[in-house]
């Protein structure tokens, strides 16, 4: 079936074409039909470009391949599957959660070695994403569909912390199915932040929900789910929380600390890269699924405008490479008016020492945070990988992110992929920034710990940028330890050599992340589910100097 049929794609109206006044015309363009002839591997990244087309990523689904011809993983591929694969599938299935007989998600961890369950016996929205991708890649979409519908129902609940009501669109961080064996009933309790440690609301949950809805649609070719009034409303509610006009002077999303995977205080309040990249990806995913009827059209218009501004802001102000670092190092401060070069009044003295040594001549990354007189120079794995997957990064920037990873392999990957952020905070800084958090000590947990789950995002970024050899190196490291160590949640230490001090064993997203990475390497056409192509008509803002030879 590969390349066999005609597939419809949306009109090629990129953001650069669609200036804000022209949107109505752009939306009314007829859909084109293009023939898909060559395999994924043959096509270059720029050739894959379809722009910020409304239906980008849905109608150009590789579904013929993904659903009909893709081998159900491991058992049916041409080369020997690693023995860890079978074990991982078993463990993943053991973590499945059922509600009234239907699978609706996977538990965060099934660790029988500890009594300290905390909330790891719940289905976390963000944790379920790699599980969902594994099931989709294996041709088992039902659990994903039930999960999407169940969480959508939960979104409709009234959410309160003490006497304060949260926005209607907020999606839960996690939920738990309570089974009453006597009455034989199932009930659900959900956590929107009102029970979470530190009472943090999960800003990322809604974005992951939209991204997953697109992955489901793209993988199955089933448009009926995303087109239901319920799903359309769900997307609009999530986005209306972020697209409302207010006091903001930046298109980035202002967040509290701990509102994403890093769900404890780690100095990521403000404009954290993880949220900005997910926000961008969710906006683009929603754009491909929203129907331009009634308030849908208004929402689409807002999304298009925001994407314009957000990509400009991120590509210019969050991007750091040797050249930019040197520019910031020489910045003047206290500049007033529109002519200011140092727009956010970043003080060169605030550049930490480590970054000068860390930054190679070749390579770059999106920094952790940018705000008034504030630049967090830390490197964060998730934000940079999602920037590649969503094409928030230009093709040049994507390559530079991969170059940096290769250059700084010891620091960022070490012996266990992948550092959640680099470097860690220590001493006085740790005390001030984390509030003396004993779980986030240096090189542990969120503070420079190594998280196997991030392997799937790294692998997806490698596949998208055509550099699978990097992912293979990382997979080899995982295969040498993860199973032996009983699939821990995270590792500690500068090289990630030690199983994390408080890490759960049999952490589901460590297991699912490994499966997704393996299946992506086996069949790179799966990448379409979780990747959006660069808008080829949109001129990159940042020009890198002459291209470097491939390593
Ligand atoms: C921890 C992680 C969070 C994850 C949860 C469940 O709280 O910080 O990202 O979702 O565990 O695994």
Confidence bin at 234 (pLDDT 50/70/90): very high
Contact 67, 525 (CB under 8 A): no
At residue 536, the pLDDT reads 59
Q: CA nearest 524: which of 469, 486, 452?
A: 469
pLDDT digits (tens, 9 = 90+) for 420-470: 999 999 999 999 999 999 999 999 999 999 999 999 999 999 999 999 999
The pLDDT tens digits of the residues spanning 56-115 come to 445 444 333 333 333 444 444 455 789 999 999 999 999 999 999 999 999 999 988 877
pLDDT score, position 36: 33
| Helices and strands in the chain: count of H runs, count of E runs | 19, 15
494-514: average pLDDT: 97
- Looking at the CA of residue 507, tell me the nearest atom of ligand 1: 12
- Indicate the pTM of the whole model: 0.86
108 ligand 1 Cβ < 6 A = yes
263 lines ligand 1 (CB under 6 A): yes
Dihedrals φ, ψ of 93, to 5°?
-65, -35
Q: Which ligand 1 atom sits closest to the C-alpha of 126?
A: 10
CA-wise closest residue to 192 among 177, 211, 170: 170
Q: Are 59 and 74 in contact (CB under 8 A)?
A: no
Check pLDDT > 80 for residue 547.
no
Pairwise CA distance, residues 359 & 327, whole Å: 13
pLDDT computed for residue 79 by the predictor: 59
Substitution candidate for ligand 1 out of 95, 107, 108 with most atoms within 8 A of CB: 108
Indicate which residue's Cα is closest to atom 3 of ligand 1. Answer: 261
Q: Is 204 in the pocket of ligand 1 (CB under 6 A)?
A: no
Bond prior to 418 in cis (omega within 30° of 0) = yes
* Ligand 1 centroid to residue 510 C-alpha, Å: 11
Mean of pLDDT values over 392-399: 98
Do residues 278 and 211 make contact, with C-beta atoms less than 8 angstroms apart?
yes
Distance CA 172, CA 154 (A): 7
The structure tokens listed for 419 are 């550092």
Written as one string, the DSSP assignment of 231-244 is HHHHHHHHHHHHH-
Q: 527: closest CA among 460, 473, 448? A: 460
Query: pLDDT (tens digit, 9 = 90+) per residue, 237-269?
Result: 999 999 998 999 999 999 999 999 999 999 999
Does residue 480 have a pLDDT over 70?
yes
């Amino acid at each position: 079936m590969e390349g066999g049929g005609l597939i419809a794609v949306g009109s090629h109206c990129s953001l650069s074409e669609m200036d804000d006044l022209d949107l109505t015309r752009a939306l009314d363009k007829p859909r084109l039909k293009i023939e898909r002839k060559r395999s994924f591997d043959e096509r270059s990244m720029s050739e894959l470009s379809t722009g910020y087309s409304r239906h980008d990523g849905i109608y150009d689904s590789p579904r013929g391949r993904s659903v009909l011809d893709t081998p159900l993983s491991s058992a049916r591929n041409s080369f020997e599957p690693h023995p860890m694969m079978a074990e991982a599938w078993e463990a993943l299935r053991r973590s499945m959660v059922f509600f009234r007989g239907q699978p609706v998600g996977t538990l965060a961890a099934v660790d029988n070695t500890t009594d300290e369950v905390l909330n790891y016996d719940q289905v976390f929205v963000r944790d379920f994403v790699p599980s969902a991708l594994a099931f989709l890649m294996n041709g088992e979409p039902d659990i994903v569909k039930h999960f999407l519908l169940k969480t959508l129902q939960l979104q409709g609940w009234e959410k309160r912390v003490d006497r304060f009501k949260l926005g209607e669109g907020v999606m839960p961080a996690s939920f738990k199915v309570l089974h009453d064996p006597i009455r034989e009933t199932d009930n659900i309790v959900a956590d929107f932040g009102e029970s979470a440690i530190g009472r943090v609301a999960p800003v990322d949950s809604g974005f992951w929900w939209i991204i997953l809805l697109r992955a489901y649609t793209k993988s199955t070719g089933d448009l009926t789910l995303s087109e239901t009034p319920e799903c359309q409303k769900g997307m609009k509610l999530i986005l209306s929380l972020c697209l409302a006009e207010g006091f903001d002077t930046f298109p980035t999303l202002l967040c509290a600390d701990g509102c994403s995977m890093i769900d404890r205080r780690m100095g990521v309040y403000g404009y954290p890269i993880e949220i900005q990249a997910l926000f961008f990806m969710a906006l683009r995913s929603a754009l491909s699924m929203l129907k331009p009827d009634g308030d849908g059209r208004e929402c689409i218009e807002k999304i298009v405008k925001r994407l314009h501004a957000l990509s400009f802001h991120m590509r210019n102000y969050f991007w750091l490479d040797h050249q930019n670092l040197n520019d910031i190092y020489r910045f003047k401060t206290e500049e007033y008016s529109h002519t200011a070069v140092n727009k956010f009044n970043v003080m060169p003295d605030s550049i930490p020492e480590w970054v000068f040594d860390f930054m190679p001549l070749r390579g770059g990354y999106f920094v952790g945070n940018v705000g008034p007189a504030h630049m967090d120079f830390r490197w964060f794995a998730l934000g940079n990988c999602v920037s590649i997957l969503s094409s928030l990064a230009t093709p040049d920037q994507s390559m530079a992110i991969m170059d940096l990873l290769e250059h700084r392999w010891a620091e960022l990957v070490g012996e266990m992929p992948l550092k959640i952020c680099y470097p860690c905070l220590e001493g006085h800084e740790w005390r001030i920034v984390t509030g003396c958090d004993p779980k986030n000590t240096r090189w542990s947990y969120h503070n420079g710990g190594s998280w196997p789950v991030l392997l799937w995002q790294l692998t997806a970024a490698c596949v998208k940028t055509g550099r699978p050899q990097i992912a293979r190196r990382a997979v080899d490291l995982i295969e040498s330890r993860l199973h032996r160590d009983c699939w821990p949640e995270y590792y500690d230490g500068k090289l990630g050599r030690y199983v994390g001090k408080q890490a759960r064993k049999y952490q589901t997203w460590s297991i699912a992340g490994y499966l997704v990475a393996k299946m992506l390497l086996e069949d790179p056409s799966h990448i379409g589910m979780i990747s959006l192509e660069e808008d080829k008509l949109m001129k990159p803002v940042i020009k890198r100097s002459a291209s470097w030879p491939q390593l």
